[in-house]
Structure 1
Amino acid sequence: MLTAHMEPNLEVVDVSSHESFNAWGHGYPHKSVRWHFHPEYEIHLVTAATGTFFVGDFIGTFAPGNLVMIGPNLPHNWVSDLMEGELVYQRCLVMQFPGALASNAIKIFPELRYVGKLLKEARGGLLFSSETGLAAQSLMLELTEARGIRRVQLFLTLIELLALDTSRKRLASSEYASDMGDIASSKINVALKYINKNFATDLREPDVVAITGQSISAFSRAFHKHVGMTFVSYINHLRIKRSCELLTSGRISITDICFKVGFNNVSNFNRQFLLQKGMSPSKFRDIDEMKISKCS
């Protein structure tokens, strides 16, 4: 497998407007599973399956408990050993956060200065002990559901756990240099940045194709290969994700949210929301309010 020698894709990490980092899990296969990079730090814990993982110029095998921290713009990928057609419901837990979050926290809280060493080492990729991986699993699992101050507490506890693991090992060689500047500016990645900035407008595929200089057919093929879905599906995905944030962040009416995220009629918004979330927007809001009341 020559994954580490292919041009990596830029992954656009979309952190919610009312959160400072992402915490989530996914199965396998999944659209994010490809040779890729992003400016954010990533903590990646395998919870199921075995296979091969790639970090910079490092190639190794993984199993449940494999815990790795990736620095900014360091290409990486985990490829599972599965039979054709076999699926894994949840293969890993992932946390992604911008470097500014950590550096600003260190400036505000001098007690966190020791974390700077961890962040610097992570630029070459870090593999942690199996004991640390085991301890991290419960923290990362809770992080995917946590809200408010508890979420920040878990984040700091996880970072402390990693910083205190003196047996952590660098993955990419000291000679490995990752300069993703040219790749990040490639046509498809320029298009992705534009889409993520303008998805709430009346954005159409020909508008985006125009900034890449490609034909519509070439763009569509490249886009589907890169993102794992069609242009329209990706736009709807971003709009529904943003609508979920708005549904949980205040009392904006569902009709106002519909138009605010870029849909031009409520029936289509409701239909797309049901397809992606398995429930109506009003039901989603009711469930979220029930969670809040239980925590208050």
Structure 2
Amino acid sequence: MNSTDIRNRGSLEVIVSERDETIRWSEHGYPSALARWHYHPEIELHLIREGTGFMMAGDAMVPFHAGQVFMLGSNVPHNWISDLDSGKKLPLRDVLCQIHPNRLQALIRVFPEASQLYGLLRRSERAVVLDGASARMAAMLLERMGHYSGLERLAVLLELLGVFVNAPDSEWTCVVTPEYRFEAASGVEDRVNAVLSYIGEHIASDISLEEAARVISMSAPAFSRFFKQTAGISFSDMVRRLRIARACRLLDSTNSDIARIQVECGYANTSNFNRRFRQETGMTPSEYRRRHR
């Protein structure tokens, strides 16, 4: 790419806090105007209450499930894409809190006891995913935080950060590659979110790179480079992962025949569907259904 390289950029979200408030707590559903590919300077701690799908963070795209808690560093672009049938909603999917890293860095300077937070801030630059007992504790604290303000909210935040600091190695992982570097630019977010909408609307039918390129008024070669550099994976990989994510949900939550699920997920060829499904999950669709039932 030239000097206008647009790799891994999202929409700048301006976080407006209440007066005399440095810890912002909120909740929202999905779909929502707030659920989009974006970034902000504030550090974010985020709980998914319900649903499954894929999280995009920096150059990573990983599955998520209800109960996971995430910590995203300053200016790491992110988005959670739930797999839902048309017209369906998750009314209260997300609960989160945000705080500017300068506040935590000031705390570290004043209180040596908070020095462990420095390592956590560095980890958050690569998007920390919390699971297991640590995630359950963090989720409880995030929910509790919504009932408090002032000093009580600060106390809950410190306890929440302590859960991340003390989580055993088996209950956390970082998903963004160490080589990831963020560069901000305006306008790119609209293109990315338009492409994601196009994929979602056509997940059961034909999806082509050429048509996606036309959606955002780009040539196919330029779009292919743009999407890989921006989303961290190729366009075809993104489509495959979202289709298989839908197949997993249908296998787990319905009694539909596998042949019907295959068609609903945009696969006309059974062998191709089975091959792609195994590529993403490590098992066949029938094996997946047996294991998750």
Gaps of 5+ in 1: 190-296
> What is the alpha-carbon distance in structure 2 between the residues aligned to residue 95 and residue 56 of structure 1?
19
Deviates more, 1:45-54 or 1:136-145: 136-145
Match of 1:179 in 2: 183
Alpha-carbon distance, 1:5 to partner: 7.2
**8 Å Cα contact 2:7-2:182 kept in structure 1:** no
- Note the alpha carbon deviations across 1:95-119, whole angstroms, 9 max, x for none: 1100111001111111000110000
- 1:109 alignment partner in structure 2: 111
2:150 paired residue among 148, 152, 156? 148
In 1, distance between residues paired with 2:42 and 2:56? 17
Shift of 1:187: 11
Could you tell me which of 61, 64, 72 is aligned with 2:63? Answer: 61
TM norm structure 2: 0.59
Q: Distance in 1 between the 2:81 and 2:40 partners?
A: 18
Equivalent AA in structure 1 for residue 52 of structure 2: T
CA contact (8 A) 2:13 2:38 kept: yes
Structure 1 residues 98, 6: closer, same or farther in 2, change over 3 A?
closer
d(CA) in 2 for partners of 1:101 and 1:164? 21
17, 20, 23: which one pairs with 2:22? 20
Q: How do 1:243-254 and structure 2 match up within 5 A? A: none
Amino acid at match of 1:175: E
Higher relative contact order (CA 8 A, sep 6+): 2
Amino acid at match of 2:167: D
Mark the runs of 5 or more structure 2 residues left unpaired by the alignment: 1-5, 191-293
SS at match of 2:148: coil
Please give the TM-score of this superposition, normalised by the length of structure 1: 0.58
Letter in 2 for 1:77: N
The CA distance in 2 between the partners of 1:61 and 1:188, in whole Å, is: 21
The residue correspondences of 1:1-296 to structure 2 (distance < 5 A) are 7-167=9-169, 168-180=172-184, 183=185
Deviation at 1:166? Answer: 3.3
Give how far 1:49 is off: 0.8
Q: Which deviations, in whole Å up to 9, do the C-alpha atoms of 1:165-222 show, x marking residues without a partner?
A: 1322111111111122xx15x6999xxxxxxxxxxxxxxxxxxxxxxxxxxxxxxxxx
Identical-pair percentage: 27
RMSD: 2.1
**Residues 50 and 66, structure 2, Cα contact 8 Å, conserved in 1:** yes
For 1:110 and 1:187, how far apart are their aligned partners in 2? 41
Amino acid at match of 1:88: L
Cα deviations across residues 108-133 of structure 1 (Å, max 9, x unaligned)?
11100011000011111111122211
Q: Give the AA of the match of 2:150.
A: G
Aligned length, in residue pairs = 183
